[in-house]
Amino acid sequence: MKDIRKLTIDQIEAYMASIDEKRFRARQVYEWLWKKSASSFDEMSNLSKNLRDKLSEDFAIKPIKTKMAQYSNDGTIKSVFELHDTNVIEGVLIPADDRMTACVSSQVGCSLSCKFCATGYMERMRNLDPGEIYDQVVAIDKLAKENFDHPLTNIVFMGMGEPLLNYKNVMEGIHRITSEDGLNMSPKRITLSTAGIAKMITKLADDEVKFNLALSLHAANDAKRNEIMPINETNTLDALTEALLYFYQKTKNNITFEYIVFNGFNDKIQDAEELWNFAKKIPSKINIIEYNPIAEANFLNAKADKIEQFASYLKNKGLIVNVRRSRGKDIDAACGQLANKNLVTS
């Protein structure tokens, strides 16, 4: 049966007309789907039983299901979500004093093969549908309320997959999350992180998106970036600079550069200077991220004094720099660790 969440409001109205129902019933169904997050037609209590039965005969709702959850010592909660076709993805709730952040996935697996990321060693099975993206936010918001008595405040597309390789569905999912007839979250509270696909960054600019953009950078010269991120071979730093400048000109949103400082690889002052030369061209800030080792790779996090020197160099050059500490490392929920490992519910 067709997934009703893939229909527009106009298509649902046409369906209602075809079964001799009032057109306003379509708006009621739409509200149940996207504002009230209904996962079954039986929940739609202001519809007649006959109409609910008819909808059940003709359509399906295919919500994600929480298969298991794991709780970190630092409060982070990782959820394993099962999709209607038995594929599995992961999402993370990251609590803090001033915010509740959902880290959501955009694909089952990933095709980019970044050498330091556990997801990059997985096969990309398929893109997520808009409803599956939306459902992650709903489920993680529920966790935030149940465990911390506070709703979500922020969403980051930093989970499994490359969002810009699932462009249409990610944009539609964000629309459902931010629209008044959806969850009505502010797009300013959403950050999409990309490994760097220049033509799709340009498309984001042309679409004049309202959410924030982060580039997963990790090296500011092409030779090093090629070594750890094969996508750079076809999306060089020059191409990314051009696309990011265009994005800023169209949206007036500063870019965030995410930079993991790997021990012995990109942790020297020369690397910091290259990062400064790259970042100074674009209105931006830099998040220096602690590396979380994975079994598939031999990278190690840089030593604390090296990270401090690296950050201080950039700050002294006038850049905005934040050093981010990892959350959820003990449950493989930190940045770069999502890989559908077998979990035990906590």
- Residues labelled as active-site residues: 90, 335
| Interatomic CA distance for residues 332 and 303, integer angstroms | 21
Nearest to 157 by CA among 300, 282, 258, 6: 258
Which helix (H) or strand (E) covers residue 31, if one does? helix 24-34
CA angle 228, 233, 235 (to 5 degrees): 105
Q: Number of C-alpha atoms within 13 angstroms, CB side, residue 328? A: 25
| Interatomic CA distance for residues 10 and 125, integer angstroms | 31
* List of residues 6+ apart from 263 with CB closer than 8 A: 299, 300, 301, 302, 303, 306
Residue 28, SS3 per DSSP: helix
| Interatomic CA distance for residues 207 and 1, integer angstroms | 32
Residue with tokens 């298991």: 68
Residue with tokens 């990782």: 78
Residue 44 tokens read as: 């739609």
Residue 317, SS3 per DSSP: coil
Nearest to 90 by CA among 114, 49, 62, 122: 122
Q: How many CB atoms lie within 10 A of CB 241?
A: 15
